[in-house]
Chains A and B, each alone.
Chain A
Amino acid sequence: MANGHSTTLHHHFESYDQQRNASSLGMWFFLAQEVMFFGGLFTAYMIYRTQNGLDFAVASSHLNIPLGALNTAILIASSFTMAMAVKKSVLAQRKAIVGYLILTLILGCGFLVVKYFEYAEKFEHNTVPGSSFEFHVEPELIAQYDLSPERVVTMEKRAEIFFSLYFMMTGLHALHMVIGVGIGIWLMFPAMAGKFNMDYHNPVENFGLYWHFVDLVWIFLFPLLYLLGGNALAGG
């Protein structure tokens, strides 16, 4: 074993192979746990969306599709830089690992900045659930679907459920992004110290798995929350 290896192999493992297997398997079980965690929310969304299809579509049309699309692009790009960081960590290329990690973190922060502007917009328009929640169905839509005044009132109430789910889902996703950025910064230290190599790169690999998972959640959130509204406005 080369120098420096002994500090990265924990004493209760017999070999790097065993340590890597344990570490990856642990991460996959953790991700399974995450799937179930978000799964509860997605279930609630699916049930309400099935019961209130048109109402949800109308509420969805108040989301900012260009910003959502921008964030989707940012996250896909960050997944690429993350994958490169993992590859470089296997190859023990210290500077490249650090560089790709920094790029990933910049993109992650970029996502959060865009999200901040989106949330600010919601607060301005009072589409944040709670006592000051306000939602008005556009007159064109009322005419298009020939909605009775009572139907409009229920539609405005269902919109509050939609926005509750929107904030819950995107909020938890953003929280995962914040935690991800935190872990990424923490990984910079061993990366700069050149600790990662063929035998010991599981921290970067596991961080990569986590990052891709969080991206993947967004890939589901974007169409479910943002693109749903297009239908209603197109009359479909």
Chain B
Amino acid sequence: MSAHAESYDPNVNYLNRDWSLKSWLLTLDHKRIAWLYLISVSVFFAIGGFFAMLIRMELLTPQGDLLSPDTYNRVFTQHGVVMIFLFLIPSIPAVLGNFLVPLMVGAVDVAFPRLNLLSWYIYTVAGILVILALITGGVDTGWTFYTPLSSTYANSQVMLVAIAVFVNGFASILTGLNFLVTIHTMRAKNLTWGKLPLFIWAMYATSLINVLGTPVVAITLLMAGAERVLGLGIFDPALGGDPILFQHLFWFYSHPAVYIMILPAFGVISELIAAFSRKKIFGYTFIAASSVGIAILGFIVWAHHMFTTGMSAYAATVFSALTMLIAVPTAVKVINWTATMYQGSVSWETPMLYAVGFLGLFLIGGLTGVMLATLGLDIHVHDTYFVVAHFHYVMVGGAIMGFLGGIHYWWPKMTGRLYNGSISKVSAILVFVGFNLTFFPQFLLGYMGMPRRYHAYPEEFQALNVFSTAGATVLGLGYILPAFYLTYSLFKGEKAPANPWGAMSIEWQTPSPPPLHNFVTPPVITEPYDYEHELIKEQIAELKKHVKPQEVPLG
């Protein structure tokens, strides 16, 4: 690393060293690949959001007057496919993970930079296939592709979308594989496993699921696809094949996929809570171990998606108990975060608002998960809006809050610019309020028996649906605002110092934005989140020179 220090020019960083299109599209720099992903996942978030908007507009009235039943099927399927496969799964790992994993372990790049770029191209191909499917009629099977609907009966672009999901799987696998190897073999000297930031532990656990789970959904969709196109008969009941086997194989991946979406958010939240409580994180070992624990347990609970499908009562009982077990490592995290904030010197910067919002929303999402794991209750609310509200609390209230919190936290590092604090706080509050207005009424609707996936509903459900649609409008505004003020800050924002938050992990020891090879001098490795360390006092002193003191309520 000393070799890079000799040629260091403080005016040149990874962004401004070359602006040509070629230098971006053929880049092997993990920090630039993070940007490629950030732009692409934002596009797909907007597309998925557009479908969400159509759904909410349709459900404003009970009659089902805006969309035909068939169109509605396509709209909710496409909302699910785009949001899950093209936004949520790559969001935090491929954007923040790509940017941060090498920085946080003190490496020059990920272990396999070319595979990293390849993963973005694979993702792009999958995205284009999905867009192609949308243009040529869309897909109507639900994002779960259940057979025999997907293999025999559906008349929509099932194959295009299934191939897209199959292809996209390789992008996840390559990213996961890259992170696992980077964390194992590229750590800076003295940066032992016990000193790694908790974000890295979360990325490690996520990557394990990416590598071990994704191939299963790939082969499952391949079998269903071979049945549809080549006439093979693996899940065909007419031959004695079993469609429920498809569901088992599908959920063997797709349940762990929930943890691919939420574990990275856990990692982000651990960083945010420690940084804005200015305190050593409570229970480091437990939080780190619980990430890996969730990844492992996540592989043995899949059948709780199938309690009403037809399964032995004994199997259902075991899966119910195992599912409840997941509440243990999850609660470990939530309790440790709360304990970290306790008697910390908490400051309410924008990322912290997202982190605290996450705690509230995820708590509701997690607890309703335990309710759904209960066999009797699940049978009552299965396939109702209760389930829809539950998984949106986890995936939107959890994963997207984590994503936005992380983007706001590392934005100064990624861009070298500060954004407007007031607007971003307003937007964080809009997201929180809008989210609750949108999805809390859905718990009530579901409990009262409104089924999911219908374009029309009985009139007595209208009032709550109007609430939900109104909330979605607020939520949408909260999501659109960052696109504007963050883009504005890129060009007009105040220059950011190396460590604008006074935070304690090694990515804050390099300039903002970092140079091409990440570090100018080898980073100082400390105990994790050691806010008593000399280094942090120096950095805070440095920070006070840059920013007006009243803007930084440092403890």
Most chain A beta-carbon contacts within 10 A, residue among B107, B111, B180: B111
Say yes or no: B215 contacts A36, CB within 8 Å. Answer: yes
**Using Cβ atoms and an 8 Å threshold, which residues of chain B touch A37?**
215-216, 218-219
Taking a contact as CB atoms closer than 8 A, the residue among B182, B211, B236, B245 that contacts A33 in the complex is B211
User: Whole-angstrom distance between the alpha carbons of A131 and B233 in the complex?
Assistant: 11
The stretch among A62-70, A110-118, A142-150, A154-162 that forms the contact with chain B is A154-162
Q: A22-B186, A129-B231, A131-B231 are in contact. Are A29 and B181 (CB under 8 A)?
A: yes
B168 to chain A, nearest CB (A): 15
A157 to B239, CA, bound (A): 5
Which A residue's beta carbon lies closest to that of B239?
Answer: A157
Residue numbers in B under 8 Å from A30 (CB-CB): 177
Bound-state CA distance A160–B252 (Å) is: 26
Nearest CB in chain A: distance from B209 CB, A? 11
Interface size on B, residues (CB 8 A): 42
Query: Of B111, B180, B238, B249, which one neighbours A40 at CB under 8 angstroms?
Result: B249
Which bracket fits the contact residues of A? 35 or more
Contact A47 B242 (CB under 8 A): yes
Q: A25-B184, A161-B240 are known contacts. Are A33 and B212 too (CB-CB below 8 A)?
A: yes
Nearest B residue (CB) for A132 = B231
User: For the complex, what is the distance from the CA of A51 to the CA of B242, rounded to whole Å?
Assistant: 11
Which secondary structure characterizes the binding site on chain B? helix
Query: Contact string, A19-52, partner B, CB cutoff 8 A, digits 1/0?
Result: 0011001100110111011111101100110011
**Distance (Å) between the CB of A159 and the closest chain B CB?**
9
- Which A residues lie within 8 Å of B108 (CB)? 11-12
Judging by beta carbons under 8 Å apart, are B113 and A12 in contact?
yes
Judged by a CB distance under 8 angstroms, whether B234 is at the interface is yes
| Any B CB within 8 A of the CB of A167 | yes
Tell me if B111 and A168 are in contact (CB < 8 A).
no
Given the known inter-chain contacts A36-B212, A40-B216, A44-B223, please indicate yes or no for A29 contacting B180, CB distance below 8 A.
yes
- B107 to chain A: which residues have CB within 8 Å? 12
Q: Specify which chain B residues have a CB less than 8 angstroms from the CB of A154 in the assembled complex.
A: 240
Chain A residue numbers with a CB within 8 Å of B218 are 37
| A residues at B contact (CB < 8 Å) | 11-12, 18, 21-22, 25-26, 29-30, 32-34, 36-41, 43-44, 47-48, 51-52, 129-131, 154, 157-158, 160-161, 164-165, 167-168, 172
Can you list 20 A-B pairs with a CB-CB distance of less than 8 A? A18-B186, A21-B184, A21-B185, A22-B112, A22-B184, A26-B111, A26-B112, A33-B177, A33-B215, A36-B215, A39-B216, A40-B252, A44-B249, A47-B245, A129-B230, A130-B230, A130-B231, A160-B233, A165-B234, A168-B226
